[in-house]
């Protein structure tokens, strides 16, 4: 093997040594940056996990508060029922909001056809089931979202379906503060080991 010409010169040797030092420094810097990146990724994963847990806790608390508010609204309605109505302590008639399932979501929000109810008003929300989807033993979940942004405004789980006026419906009580001015999407899902979408509905409040 023939020696490389000029390599015996000290200047050339020092150049190679300097290059080696630079390469080692670059490799060390890359290793440090990689460790920092991994640490940041782990930190972000932990923060995301904690955020998900906190979000679930807040959603559960919100659902509990909504259920409590609705129960108080119903109890107040019972107390305010006319004494001479002959109904005694029975639940008085409530305004109803009946929605039929969509076949296709439109590109634009629906036209406002419902007047804004008082915030404390109890409303019976009735969702007509699609044909052939009545399952008496199934529990359903109802979610109200803003039409444009998709933010969850109200949700309820564990409701059942029944025949009303010959039509299968899922019913749930809501309060008027759920429906402010704007367009909304109502989602109906079946609950259980394998939750599935059942139907979607639209409503706009003027």
Q: What is the DSSP secondary-structure string of 11-38?
A: HHHHHHHHHHHHHHHHHHHHHHHHHHHH
67, pLDDT greater than 70? no
1, pLDDT greater than 60? no
Q: Which of 93, 119, 138 is the last residue of a domain?
A: 93
The domain that holds 176 is classified in CATH as 2.60.40
Q: How confident is the model at residue 191 (pLDDT cuts 50, 70, 90)?
A: confident
77, pLDDT greater than 80? no
DSSP 125-174: EEEEPPTT---TT--EEEEEEETTT--EEEEEEEE-EEEETTEEEEEEEE
Q: Which of 93, 121, 153 is the last residue of a domain?
A: 93
> Are residues 32 and 121 part of one domain?
no
> Are residues 201 and 102 part of one domain?
yes
What mean pLDDT value characterizes the chain?
79
Rounded Cα distance, 149 and 170, in Å: 25
Range with the lowest mean pLDDT among 68-72, 90-94, 138-142?
90-94
Q: What are phi and psi of 93, to 5 degrees?
A: -70, 140
- Judged by DSSP in three states, 202 sits in strand
- The tens digit of pLDDT for each residue in 110-164 reads 999 999 988 888 888 999 998 876 676 788 999 999 999 889 999 888 888 888 8
Domain enclosing residue 26, as ranges: 1-93
The pTM of the full predicted model, rounded to 2 decimals, is: 0.59
Sign of the torsion formed by the C-alpha atoms of 73, 79, 82 and 86:
positive
Q: Which of 78, 93, 108 is the last residue of a domain?
A: 93
Rounded Cα distance, 73 and 131, in Å: 33
Range with the lowest mean pLDDT among 73-87, 109-123, 192-206?
73-87
> Are residues 78 and 17 part of one domain?
yes
Q: How confident is the model at residue 90 (pLDDT cuts 50, 70, 90)?
A: very low
Rounded Cα distance, 71 and 65, in Å: 10
Q: Total structural domains in the chain?
A: 2
């Amino acid at each position: 093997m023939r020696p490389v010409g000029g390599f015996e010169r000290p200047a050339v040797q020092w150049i190679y040594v300097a290059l080696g030092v630079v390469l080692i420094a670059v490799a060390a810097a890359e290793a440090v940056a990689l460790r920092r990146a991994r640490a940041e990724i782990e930190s972000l994963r932990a923060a995301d996990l904690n955020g998900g847990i906190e979000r679930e806790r807040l959603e559960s608390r919100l659902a509990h508060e909504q259920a409590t508010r609705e129960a108080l609204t119903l109890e107040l309605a019972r107390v305010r029922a006319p004494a001479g109505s002959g109904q005694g302590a029975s639940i008085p008639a409530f305004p109803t909001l009946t929605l039929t399932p969509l076949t296709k979501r439109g590109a634009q929000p629906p036209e406002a056809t419902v007047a804004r109810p008082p915030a404390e008003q109890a409303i019976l929300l009735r969702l007509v089931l699609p044909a052939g989807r009545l399952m008496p033993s199934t529990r359903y979940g109802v979610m109200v979202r803003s039409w444009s942004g998709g933010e969850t405004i109200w949700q309820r789980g564990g409701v059942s379906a029944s025949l009303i006026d010959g039509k299968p419906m899922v019913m749930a009580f809501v309060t008027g503060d759920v429906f402010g001015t704007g367009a909304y999407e109502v989602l109906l899902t079946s609950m259980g080991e394998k939750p599935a979408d059942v139907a979607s509905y639209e409503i706009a409040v003027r």
